[in-house]
Structure 1
Amino acid sequence: MTLTAFHDTGWVSQSLPQVSAHASPVQKKGRRQTGTPWTRSGCLTCKKRRKGCDKAKPSCNNCLKQGRKCEGYGDLWVEPLGPSAQVFVQADAPKLPRLTAHSPPRSLSPSPSVSPFSYAWNDSQLSPVSLDWSTPSSPQRIIDIEAEETTQNQDENIATEPNAQTTLAVIMQPQGYPNPSHLSGHESHYLQYHVEHGSKLLANLESDDNPLRSLLIPCAMSSPLLMKAVCAVSALHLANRSQECSAQNAAATFYGRTLSGIRTAIAKCSTEFLPDDAMLAVGLMCKYEIVRGSIKQWVVHLHAMQRLITSRGGLGSMNPDAAQFLRGLFVYAYNMARISTRKRIAYSDPTETDIGPPRLDIYIGYTEEILKLCGRIAELPSLQDDGISLHLAIASINDSLLSWTPTSINYIIPNDITPAALSRLQLVAECFREAAFIFLHSTLERMSANSDTPQTALDLDAFSIFTPISPPEKTRYLTEWAPLISTPKSTAIHRCLARVESFPLDDHCEYSALTFPLFISGCESEVFAHRDLIICSLCKLQTNFGIGNVERAKELLRILWARQDANAKDIAAGGTASRKTHWIDILEELQWELILV
């Protein structure tokens, strides 16, 4: 017999001894047959003891009779998984003692991990291997949603489930979505939030044809695996915006069940392609980590999506709508990953398969060419020993940025997109172009600093963190590379922030894509006044859109600025100038895999 915990307790599944049908009367007599039934709405003390509770307020009578302290009817909540926590850890085989002729027989006990799962492939086929889902750095509460749903009829406090499904049906049926009556209460609740709010705030372009609704919801209605993935992202986004503990708990549970389902799907497809719904679920796991603000785990899902797409021979073998959705998500996340995780992922783009005319994507909008140019910029250090190739690459990137226009690619634009939305998309794309110029200068400066004699003469300015004075011998950046770039770094920063300052930064989802332009401007600006504008703008994005990666970007900026200020104080006190602190150096020092999407 298995006793499974419910939503508002901190208990996990426990295995209880089986009682034989032929047990003696004495054995059966010891089993409790009467008393107050156990319910989820009881006090915390009774739930911990797995005892019945009469739910008297403010303290239950059962606790008072037994002289126990009644802990009330609050929620058991444990701090959620932190952004740097590793979810996947290689499980080493347990070391067994050496057996001798006199050693007693030994049975192997199962691994105590919560949920084994892996993404692992070789070059020819999918090859799942056993990895353990490691215990989080902080205790993680585990909820058994399936067990909870099966007992809803036994608890009078769960009378709201039909209302939730009725409300969801009213929202979904006029839009042609399937009847949601078969969904559980939790699924109905988070799917309703996804339809009304999450799907509008987790995209960079809103339209009636938003695939977060028009694609994912119909697919999820016939795929329990995809439904869990959608609910995981929806619950986490709700938790970010409302600080609801129950939503955070549900997100972690849906997340774990999705990973388990993907593992099962991979194990079943050794000779066939992974089904489209499982591919979409992997994509949503990447989105989950972006919403959570992970600095470790998101690249694992991105790498998995890359390998799965490659194993199918590209996106051409998928449903066209699903292929277009995954393509936009992958191009955006993949090229941003090349900026901050260059040593962590093998780069190849499996989305170049012809899947029809390009659509104006909800993630990449007009920025596709610029995103790919940023990926090329990130690879420039590999050309440092080949001066001719490096010069040609810099000039080519500069020319591409100069010639870029929002209409460089002839996108298919949905009919319901308003001119105002397209205008916002174009303004955001212009910010990305300035950000690409800034990133190009930043990359070349770091390359030069790693190969040249560090600057030794620095002076303070009333409006600047530090103002370099030309050293006795100019660096390679100043003499060789900067002249190849038509837009100076300071000009690009000014243009980018001037545009951001002119935006209302309200809840129009197009603005949610501004994290990278704001971040790179904050890293490279030498003007103190820019800091307040950048932090204030990032805070607006975080509040309006509920995506956790913005908080991680703010954290890194604060670390970088603190070190720059400390260096400036040392110089003011007559100390020796040290090398300018670069944000990529801090990323490598902290071992962060920052999400800039």
Structure 2
Amino acid sequence: MSPTNPTPSTSGMRPMPIIRSRTGCFTCRKRKKKCDESGCKRNKLDCIWPEPAPTSNAKVSTATNSTRVARPSFGASSTGSQTSIASSIRHSQDPDHELEQHDPHSVTDPVLPDSIPEHDRVPHNGDSSPAYGDTHMMDADVEGDTHFDVDDDPVESVVDDNAQHHHQPSPSPSSSTSSSDSPTAIQATYDPDTANALTLALQPSSESGLPLNGNIVMPMSMLPEQGHHSYELLSYYLARTANSMGNGSTDVNPFISKLIPLAFSKPLVLQLILAQSAAHRQASAERHPSDEVAQRYYTDSLRMFRNVVDEYVSGNAENTLVLTVGSLIMCLTEVAKGDIHGTIFDHLTASKSLVSTLLTGAQNHVYDDLPDFLIEYYMHIAATSMISIDPQYNSQSLLSPDIEVRARNLVGRKYVGQLCGCWLEILILICQIFHLGQVMSSPTEDGVMSPSPDNIVNFAFLQSQVMGFYPDPSVTPYTRLAGLVWKQATLLYLWTVLGKPHQQPQDSFQRALIESAVAEAVTLLDQFPATVRINTSLCWPLAVIGCSTSDPTVQQVLRTRLQTMLDTIGLGNMRQTLVLLEHIWELPPEQVSPWILCRAMRERQIWISFA
């Protein structure tokens, strides 16, 4: 039997008539249908009634929920999602299947009544947190065929019900996962970095009940005004792209812990992250048949970036941080794409000015340790891109004094990062070696290019610095091995500034040193697999090693490793690095050197960075 209807309000306003659907069983309340128990029996539904509650409690609960319904849910304060709506609609459209395969956690479970206290609605056994419906979904016109009576439309009831009951429990993880084919459904299990970053970005209230155990169902209101592709791309970024950008040298991945919270407060950063994720997905083995989505997000991010640049030029200094982060993200987006048109160098030039401005700004201290990550970010891209510049015709330096000073401070603190690993000191030395190459390639007044005494002293100093580098013992084994590979590659880069090794006699000292460094590098590479994350930072060393040897066995080792990296990590510049090396290996050995990479790029019309 149904409980007694609550006493009508005695206020001056005319009370709403008490309809059966407000006082019926749980199932019929959700369906918004009148209930005399016969309908539930006819449709084989669970007919479960609430326990009788005091009238005063019902009034208080009704008033509280009326206030909650009247408040629209926006941004991070709401955890409602289209996942629950899409999943509910799909289950409602196939009642026969639902009755045959009833899941105790499915969306057909009874809806908890408004009068039940908050602590009685806490999800158990890892169920999703209570979800609040999105206001922008309330006008959806949804239809579905059912086997219920003519006046029973469960699909319309579900959408209607989400409009008035914002505190319904969302589907359990199992039902959400089964609805992943829906364009608005997205769910993934992320690492602790992701959970912490999303927690910082969302700042959930106590009533939202966002689980902090790493199983996060991203609600629709996290990304207002974004289409379903955005949720797919954000999920892909958290699960794949962020791990492909970072090399795993630290426990915390700043591509998640730093950039994700910033993305939820800065629309430009979010758009750039989505574009990067789309570019990475398109370049990887999981690429879509069409690159329309990746191209659209890339174009939109460029347009949005241009608008913020216009505001910055107009005097809006508040955009300095956003533009700095944005320009660096765009650099690695080109890396993920495998861009061959040299677009990354335009972004890198802009980043140099923006990073310097940010470091010397009055509000530098308010960014906490974010500038450290930005210094690492810039140093990694700049050092690995210089080899693509012809030192004979370009005297420009990508390293400003402000950035170099901050980078050296990080080296003094034994900084370890997800881009530079433990070899930030090596990146600084690479920039200095490139500068030495610029000076030595400049002809003197008599047209002769020979090292001056200053060049010789500088060479000796740089060699001692590189040879004195050794990874900190506290780093992980893979990071230590990768740091030693970088050391050998940097020695090759330095020694070949004196000339092409295979132009020297067979017993020359330079040639012996280079062959020894190549052999040492290959031995180090054999000690860790090509599938681990640390390989994401190895394009530059592999390119230098490949340009320093004519041994087919070594070339095959590098070829296999790059192909494996491409298959597992999936960054586009790995493919282009292999393409460029194949071209280099076709040349006579006497013409091969790391310093002719820029000329090979010009011949092949491939302008890339080895970041």
Considering the TM-score relative to the shorter chain, is it more than 0.5? yes
For 1:320, the equivalent position in structure 2 comes to 368
The CA deviation at 1:244 is 2.9
Q: CA RMSD, aligned part only?
A: 3.5
Change (3 A) 1:172 1:579: closer
Give me the whole-angstrom Cα distance separating, in 1, the residues matched to 2:427 and 2:488.
Answer: 12
Residues 224/207 of structure 1: CA separation in 2 closer, same or farther (3 Å cut): same
- SS of 2:544's partner is helix
The 2-side partners of 1:155 and 1:165 are apart by 23
What is the Cα deviation at residue 158 of structure 1?
Answer: 11
Contact 1:428 1:510 in 2 (8 A): yes
| Correspondence 1:364 to 2:429 | no
Alignment of 1:182-193 (within 5 A): 182=221, 183=223, 184=226, 185-193=228-236
Q: Cα–Cα, structure 1 residues 275 and 501, in superposed 2: closer, same or farther, change >3 Å? A: same
Task: Identify which of 224, 237, 252 aligns with 1:209.
Answer: 252
The CA deviation string for residues 373-426 of structure 1, in whole angstroms up to 9 with x for no partner, is 122222223333551011001100111012112239xxxxxxxxxx7x611111
Letter of the aligned partner of 1:511 in structure 2? N
Spell out, residue by residue over 1:186-238, the C-alpha distance to the aligned partner (whole angstroms, 9 max, x if none): 22211111112221121112555211111111111122211111111111212
Q: 1:517 corresponds to which letter in structure 2?
A: P
Q: How does 1:552-563 map to 2 (within 5 A)?
A: 552-563=576-587
Deviation at 1:264, TM superposition (A): 1.2
User: Match of 2:347, as an amino acid?
Assistant: H
Q: Which residue of 2 aligns with 1:160?
A: 182
Q: Secondary structure at the match of 1:524?
A: coil
What is the match of residue 242 of structure 2?
Answer: 199
Aligned to 1:245, the other structure's residue is in SS state coil
Distance 1:153 1:177, change over 3 A: farther
The residue number in structure 1 matching 2:308 is 265
Q: 2: CA distance between counterparts of 1:549 and 1:315?
A: 34
Q: Map residues 232-311 of structure 1 onto 2, 5 A cutoff.
A: 232-245=275-288, 248-269=291-312, 270-273=314-317, 274-295=319-340, 296-311=342-357
8 Å CA contact 1:516–1:596 kept in 2: the answer is: yes
Report the Cα offset of residue 347 of structure 1: 2.8
Which residue is equivalent to 2:481?
A: 427
Aligned position for 1:436: 490
1:543 pairs, out of 542, 554, 567, with 567
Corresponding position of 2:176: none
Find the residue that maps to 2:334 and give its secondary structure. Answer: helix
Offset of residue 502 of structure 1 = 2.2
Equivalent position of 1:348 in the other structure: 399
Whole-angstrom CA distance in 1 between matches of 2:568 and 2:349? 29
1:483-498 superposed matches below 5 A:
488-498=513-523
Contact 1:328 1:361 in 2 (8 A): yes
Give the partner amino acid of 2:353. R
Q: Percent identity among equivalent residues?
A: 19
Aligned length: 396
Residue identity opposite 1:199 in structure 2: A
Does the CA-based 8 Å contact 1:553-1:596 persist in structure 2? yes
TM-score calculated relative to the size of structure 2: 0.58
Q: What is the identity, as a one-letter code, of the residue corresponding to 1:326?
A: L
Structure 1 counterpart of 2:113: none
- Partner Cα separation in structure 1 for residue 478 and residue 362 of structure 2: 31
Q: Would the aligned equivalents of 1:299 and 1:593 in 2 still touch at CA under 8 Å?
A: no
- TM-score normalised over the length of structure 1: 0.60
- For the pair 1:589 / 2:603, whether they are aligned, the reply is yes
The answer on whether the counterparts of 2:285 and 2:567 sit within 8 Å (CA) in structure 1 is no
Cα separation, partners in 2 of 1:530 and 1:177, compared to 1, 3 Å: same
The 1:521/1:152 distance shift into structure 2, 3 A limit, reads farther
* 1:152 shift after superposition: 11
Q: Is the 8 A contact 1:314 1:353 kept in 2?
A: no
- Find the aligned partners of 2:578 and 2:550 in 1 and give their Cα distance: 17
Shift of 1:167: 7.8
User: Counterpart of 1:219 in structure 2: which amino acid?
Assistant: L
Q: In structure 2, what is the Cα distance between the partners aligned to 1:248 and 1:155?
A: 31
| Gap regions ≥5 residues in structure 1 | 1-148, 409-418, 450-454, 456-466, 471-477, 568-577
Amino acid paired to 1:491:
S
Q: Offset of 1:435 from its aligned partner? A: 0.3
Aligned partners of 1:361, 1:174: CA distance in 2, in Å? 18
Assess if the C-alpha contact under 8 Å between 1:383 and 1:389 holds in 2: no
Separation in structure 2 between the aligned mates of residue 388 and residue 435 of structure 1, nearest angstrom:
25
| C-alpha displacement of 1:277 | 2.6
Q: Which amino acid aligns with 1:368?
A: L
Distance (whole Å) between structure 2 residues aligned to residue 168 and residue 388 of structure 1: 56
Match of 1:335 among 374, 377, 383: 383
Please identify which structure carries the higher helix content: 2
Q: Does 1:517 align with 2:555?
A: no
Larger radius of gyration: 2
In 2, Cα distance between equivalents of 1:294 and 1:174: 29
Tell me if structure 2 keeps the 8 A contact 1:231–1:254.
Answer: yes
For 1:543 and 1:354, the matched residues in 2 are separated by 36
Secondary structure of residue in 1 paired with 2:587:
helix
